Structure 1
Amino acid sequence: MEVVRIVLGVVLLVVTAALAVQLWKGRWLFLIAKPDKTKKGTFYPEGTHKSGQCVSWVMVACFAVIATLIAYQMGILSGSDLFAQAATILSNIALVAYCVVLVWAVFSSQKGKEGSFRERFDGGSYRVLILLLGTCVLLTVVGLLFV
C-alpha cells in the first residue's frame, strides 16, 4: 500500500507541475476562463494571462505540499524518524505557504482593474474558483491518504 501511495503522489506531482508550467505560459487558460470565440479566432478576456500566473503559483505551492507528504511517507518507509520529522515540519510550512498563496491569488486583483477575478465572477465564469477549490479538495484527500 505504501508503494501505491508514493506512485500516486508522483503522478500528482507531475500533474501539478504540468498545470503550473502550462498556466504560467498561458497555454491552458481554458481551465480558468471561458474563451470568446470570434470570426478571427479564440480570445480570452484581458487579464486572464495574469490570473493564470497567479493560479500557477498556487499549483507550485500545491506541488510543495504533495512533495513533502511523499518525503514523509518515504521517511516512514525507510525507518528514519529524523527524516520523517523534518518532512513533517516542511509539510506544515508548505501548507501554510499554500494557504497564503491561495488567499493572495483570490484577492490579489484590485477592484476595478481590468480582468480581475471579481469581474469574471460577476460575468458568471467560475472556472478559476472551481480550479482553486479543486486544489483544496485534492490536498485534503492527499493529506488523508498520506497520514
Structure 2
Amino acid sequence: MDGITIMALVTAALALVALALIALMFWRGSWLFLVAGRAAEDEAEDAAEGRRLLARRMAVVLLIGCALVATLILFEGFKLAGNASLAWAATMANNVAFVALLVGMVWFFVVQRPDRSKDDAAKEESRMAARARSARLDHLPMATLVFTIAFIAVIALVGVLFAGL
C-alpha cells in the first residue's frame, strides 16, 4: 500500500466519523449553530422548531454522504484484496449513493422553501416570476449555505483522493 492509498483511506475514515457525528448531533438538536448561525440563539418556539427541522433534514443528507464515503472505502478495500466482483458491487453501490446524495441535496433545498401565504397566492404573478421567487435561497441562513458548501468540499476531497489512486 502506497502513501496516497493510506492518505485516502485515513481521510475517508475521518470524514466518515465526522459526518456521522455531526449527523447524530443535528438529529438530537445539538450544534444547530453550524446550520442556523446566529438564528440558533433565538429563543422563540416556532424558530426553534424550524431550526430543529432544518438540522434533521441536513442530518439525512449527511447520512447519505456517509454512505457515499463508506462505499468508497469498501471499493478500495476490495480492490486491495483483489476481489474484483466485490469491488464491482462496491462501485455500483457508490454510484447509487452518489445519485442519492444529489437527490438528497435537491430535496433539502426544495423542502426548505417558505410556504406561500394565501395573500401571496391571490396576487397576480406570472409563472416565471413565481418560479424565480421560489427558487431563491435568501430565506436560508448563511450558515446553512456555508455548511453545505463545506460538506460538498469534504465529499469532493475524499473523491479526489480516491480518484488519484
TM-score range, shorter chain: 0.7 to 0.9
- Show the counterpart of 1:92: 95
Is the radius of gyration larger for structure 1 or structure 2?
Answer: 2
Residue ranges of structure 2 left out of the alignment (5+ in a row)? 117-134
**Residues 36 and 109 of structure 1: CA distance in aligned 2, closer, same or farther (over 3 Å):** closer
Q: Does 2:36 match 1:33?
A: yes
AA of the residue aligned to 1:14: V
TM-score of the superposition, structure 1-length normalised? 0.84
Deviations along 1:35-63, one digit per CA (max 9) or x if unpaired, are 359xxx86373401000000000100100
C-alpha distance in 2, partners of 1:75/1:120?
A: 41
C-alpha distance in 2, partners of 1:141/1:42?
A: 34
TM-score of the superposition, structure 2-length normalised? 0.75
What value does the CA root-mean-square deviation take over the aligned residues?
Answer: 2.5
1:135 partner SS: helix
Higher relative helix content:
2
% identical aligned pairs: 27
Q: Which range is displaced more, 45-54 or 13-22?
A: 45-54
**Residues 36 and 119 of structure 1: CA distance in aligned 2, closer, same or farther (over 3 Å):** farther
Q: Does 2:156 match 1:140?
A: yes
Report if aligned partners of 2:8, 2:158 keep a CA contact under 8 Å in 1.
no
Residue ranges of structure 1 left out of the alignment (5+ in a row)? none
C-alpha distance in 1, partners of 2:108/2:142?
A: 14
Report if aligned partners of 2:58, 2:108 keep a CA contact under 8 Å in 1.
yes
Higher relative strand content:
1
Alignment of 1:56-95 (within 5 A): 56-95=59-98
Deviations along 1:59-100, one digit per CA (max 9) or x if unpaired, are 001000000001111112111111111110000000000110
